[in-house]
Amino acid sequence: MDKEKFVLNLGHLLEKIKIPLSIKNEIELEYALSSHIKKFVQKNLSQSNNLDGILFHHGRNKREKAWWTKSKLLQTVKLFGDNVSDIFITHRKIGAVALEFKYIKLASAGKGLTGHIQRAIGQSLIAKLRHPFVICAVFYNKKQRNLKPGLFIKLKKLLWNKHRIYLIIKGV
């Protein structure tokens, strides 16, 4: 599988995953998505259960947390401080993919989502300074009114075509 197809397929997978309503914050979102990402990476890059040195996330056990710490040398972007992705994938077949997740708890429908999207895209652009691909996924908890799907599609295409950032914005 070529690099772009890998990122596009992983992005499509993340768009289809049903996020549990019990999710309360970003780390719980990462944990919910990481098992799906792990299976995808095993199937497409490793063909084994050992993903050490390939897939990095905050981790739930000592070994995973140690790998996460080691990954910072590979993934950190130093600009006016450090930018570290939520999940990071690196492999000779694809280079590197930084995954940036946001879980937004909106106080009321239609309020405040744009600012969070701006922040997530900004972090993704910073990750692009070092890495060839980024997946930027924003999940939110309230139904939105007045969404402009045409503008979202335009933004999604722009980010992919110009920057190789795969954008996901999805309600849970």
Tell me the pLDDT tens digit for each residue of 7-21: 999 999 999 999 888
**Contact between 166 and 6 (Cβ < 8 Å):** no
pLDDT under 70 in the chain at which residues? 1, 108-111, 143-147
As a whole number of angstroms, the distance between CA 130 and CA 98 comes to: 10
- For residue 167, which of 23, 31, 3, 15 has the smallest C-alpha distance? 15
pTM, 2 dp: 0.90
Paired residues of 140 in beta bridges: 104, 171
Q: What is the CA radius of gyration of the chain?
A: 16
